[in-house]
Amino acid sequence: MLSLHQLRCFLATYEHGSLTAAAEELGYAQPSVSEQIRGLEKTLGVSLFRRVGRGVVPTTVADTLRPHAERTIAAAEETRLAAQRVRRLETGTIRFGMFGVARLYAGAGLVADVLARHPGVRVELVGQNSTEVQEDLRRGRLEAAMVAIPNVTSEGMDVIPVARDELVYISADPERLTSPATAARLAKASLVMPDTTYRADDSVRIILRRMLHETGLNPQTRIEVEDPEIAVELVGMGLADSVLPRGAAEQLLPRLAPNAGFVSLRPRQWDYFAIVHRSGATLSPAAQLMIELATARIQAIAEPVR
Amino acid sequence: MLSLHQLRCFLATYEHGSLTAAAEELGYAQPSVSEQIRGLEKTLGVSLFRRVGRGVVPTTVADTLRPHAERTIAAAEETRLAAQRVRRLETGTIRFGMFGVARLYAGAGLVADVLARHPGVRVELVGQNSTEVQEDLRRGRLEAAMVAIPNVTSEGMDVIPVARDELVYISADPERLTSPATAARLAKASLVMPDTTYRADDSVRIILRRMLHETGLNPQTRIEVEDPEIAVELVGMGLADSVLPRGAAEQLLPRLAPNAGFVSLRPRQWDYFAIVHRSGATLSPAAQLMIELATARIQAIAEPVR
DNA sequence: TGGTTCTCAAGGAGATTCCTATGCTTTCAC
DNA sequence: GTGAAAGCATAGGAATCTCCTTGAGAACCA
C-alpha cells in the first residue's frame, strides 16, 4: 500500500541522489530509507533508482513521478496545517446552539465577541426551534447550547445554570400594569406564548402552570407562536398579553410594542438560562470559548447564578 | 505521523457516519478503523468525531478537514496511476543512447517505431559525443545504448553485438574507386575521420591502425571531425577521403557528396554495432523495447550477428 | 423491557519499521 | 596499483504498529 512515508523517502533520495544523505536529512538510518524505496518500487511496480556503485541515480520514471509525489506530500502537509489552523481557531466553523429568548440576551453580540477574538472563523448559531436544538444535542450534531430551562436536570445531559431572569407580565393595557400580576389575574388573562426553551415543554409555561396550579386555576393560552418577537408584536397590537423574562421584555418592547409595559409577577418567578451538553463530554476549545462568551453576555443582562 | 491510511479511514467513516460501516467498506475489523481515527485525532490534535451512543457524528473540524483529506488521497491515487501509466508505456520518458554513425541506421525511424507503438511517451535519443554516452552509461544516467564498437568487451559493461557492416573507402576521385583500397593506399591517402563510436578510441581508426600495422605503415588522418555528415561533405568537396561503414556511406553520399563513391577495403574489414548496458543490470521494459526496435532497425540495413 | 446495533477496551498474533553491524562495490588519492 | 573512503545491500534483532477476536457497555427501537 502506498504511503506518505515512502514518498517522503523517495523525494529526499531524489533530491540528494543518495540514500545516505536522504537518511540523514530524514533522521533515519540508511537501511531504513533503502527499505522504504524498495517498498515503494514494489508497490508501484516500477524502478525508481539505478543503484550504481557509489550513490543512486533516478530513472526517467522517477523524474515523471516526482511532481506527483510532491503534490501528494504538499496536500498532506496542507491537511496538517488546516487542522492546526482550526485548532488555533484561526479558521473553521464554530457551531453553537442558542434557542429562543436566549438569543435576545447573547445573539448578535455573541457573534461579534467571537469574531473579535477569532476573525477567521465561521460562526453558526443554530436554534430555530427548541426540539431541533434538543435533538441536535442528543444526536451529537451540536456540541453545546445555551438554553432556557424549566428545570435543571435532563437525562444524559449536563445542564449548568448560569443566570436567571425574573418573569414579567407584558400588556398594552396600562390598567393591567398598575400592580404585580397574581395567579388569579394570569388565569383570567388571554395570553400569547412563544416557544422559547430547550425542552418540548416551554419553561415559562411550566412555571405558570405551577403557579396557577397552587391556586386551582388553569392558564389560558390563547395564541401560540414561535418567536418572542411575534408575541411581543401581538401584545403591542392589544390582541393578548404575555409573560417573558425581563431582559427579553426590556429589549423587545421599545422596538416592537412601544405602547406596552410590564410588571412583576406575584409571587415573583424566575426563568433559568443554562449551558447544556452531553453528559461526560470533553468540550472542544471552540465550545469552551462559546460557553465562556455566551455566559458573560447573558450574565451582563440577567442575574448570575452561583 | 500523518498517514494516508488514517485519511482513508477518516473519509470512509465520515461518509458512513459509522466506524463499523467504514470498516466493512475498507475490509477491516471495526476496532482497527477506530484505532486509526484515534491516531489521526492524536496526530492532528483535534477531535474529528463525537462518539454518540450508536454511531459517530463528524465535528465541524471534520467538515473542514474533509476536502483536504480528499485532495490528499486523490493526489496519492494520481501518483499511483501515473506510475501505472508509465509502466504500461502510456506516458513517461524513454531515454536511449545512440552514438555517431549508429543513428544513421536507426535514428528517426527508431523514434517513429517507438511512437507508433506508444504514442504517449517522450523519447530522448542521447549521444552527441561518444565519451558522453560512455560516461552516462557508467554513471547510470543512461540505461542502455546502441553503439559502434572496436572490440566486444568493456569492463563493467555488457556488450551484445547485433550487427556488422563492411567498411568502405569513400572518395570523390573516380580513379581511387576503380579497385579495392589496400593498406598501402590507405597509408598514403589523406583521410577525414569522424568520431563515431562508444569508446574514446574510434573503432574505424582502430581497425585501420591494425590493418596498416601489419604492413608496417601508419595511417594519415588529416582531418578530425565529430559528425560523419561533415566528413562526407569534406569528401564531396574533394578535400580528403574517408572510411565509413557501408550503410552510412550509402545513406550519406547521395545527399552530401553526390559526386563521390566508395569501394571495399582489401582485405575486407567490419565495424560492429552492439547494445551496451551495465553488467548485471535488470533492464526496464522501456529499455528492452528500445533494444528490440533498434536492433531490428540496424539489422535491416547491416548484417545481423549471431 | 429485551433485543439489536453500535463503540470501546483488552490481549495476542503477525507484519512492519528501524536500528546496528557487516560485506561488497566503486571511487579517489597517493 | 593499492589502500582508504564512500555508499548501498544484507542480516539479525528489538520495538512498534496493525489488525484481529472477544467481551463489555451504551443507546436505540419495538
Q: How much is the pLDDT for B286? A: 95
B206-225 tens-digit pLDDT: 778 778 777 777 666 778 78
Residue at the smallest CA–C1' distance to nucleotide D27: B53
Cell of B174: 573516380
Q: Please report which residue ranges of B118-227 form alpha helices under DSSP H.
A: 130-139, 183-188, 203-215
Q: How far apart are CA A247 and CA A302, in angstroms?
A: 7
**DSSP per-residue string spanning B213-227:** HHHT----EEEEES-
pLDDT grade for A48, boundaries at 50, 70 and 90 = very high
Site of grid cell 551495465: B278
Distance between B243 CA and the closest CA of chain A, angstroms: 37
Protein-covered nucleotides of chain C (CB closer than 7 Å) are 5-11, 17-21, 25-27
Q: At what angle do helices A30-44 and A4-16 cross, to 10 degrees?
A: 110
Nucleotides of D under 7 A from a protein CB: 6-12, 18-22, 26-28
Residue with CA nearest D11 C1'? Answer: A31
Is B52 touching A (CB cutoff 8 A)?
Answer: yes
User: What are the structural domains, with CATH classification, of chain B?
Assistant: 4-88 (1.10.10.10), 96-304 (3.40.190.290)
Q: Which of A98-107, A140-149, B5-14, B291-300 shows the lowest mean pLDDT across its residues? A: A98-107
Q: Does residue B140 belong to the interface with chain A, where contact is any CB pair within 8 Å?
A: yes
Instruction: Give A198's DSSP letter.
Output: S
Angle made by CA atoms B256, B261, B264, in degrees to the nearest 5: 130
Check residue A93 and give its pLDDT. 94
Share of chain A above pLDDT 90, in %: 60
Check residues 124 to 143 of chain B and report those whose beta carbon is under 7 Å from nucleic acid strand C.
Answer: 138-139
CB contact under 8 A, B64 and A78: no
Contact A79 B91 (CB under 8 A): no
Touching A: B residues 141-200, CB under 8 Å? 141, 143
| Span A296-306, pLDDT tens digits | 999 998 999 87
pLDDT above 70 as % of chain A:
94
Q: Using an 8 Å Cβ cutoff, are B266 and B182 in contact? A: yes
Residue B34: CB less than 7 A from any atom in strand C: yes
Pick left, alpha or beta for residue A156 (phi over 0 → left; psi -120 to 50 → alpha; otherwise beta): left
How many Å apart are CA B40 and CA B51, to the nearest integer?
Answer: 15
Residues of chain A with C-beta less than 8 angstroms from the C-beta of B51 = 140
Protein CA at B10 to nucleotide C1' at D20, angstroms: 20
pTM of the model: 0.88
Looking at residue A128, its pLDDT comes to: 63
Task: Answer whether A106's CB lies under 8 Å from A98's CB.
Answer: yes
Q: State the Rg of chain B over Cα.
A: 31
Query: For B146-191, how does the pLDDT look when each residue is reduced to its tens digit (9 = 90+)?
Result: 888 765 456 778 888 999 999 999 999 999 999 999 988 888 888 8
pLDDT digits (tens, 9 = 90+) for B93-143: 999 998 778 888 887 899 999 999 999 999 999 876 666 777 888 888 899
Which residues, numbered 99 to 128 in chain A, qualify as contacts with chain B under a Cβ-Cβ cut-off of 8 Å?
A: 124
CA–CA gap between residue A54 and residue A65 (Å, rounded) = 23
Beta-carbon separation of B76 and A45 below 8 A: no
Q: Name the residue facing A92 among B50, B64, B278 (closest C-beta).
A: B64
Q: Compute the distance between CA of residue A94 and CA of residue A126 in angstroms, rounded to an integer.
A: 11
Asked if residue B269 has pLDDT above 60, the reply is: yes
The single-letter DSSP state of residue A176 is G
Residue A53: DSSP 8-state: S
Say what percent of chain B tops pLDDT 90: 63
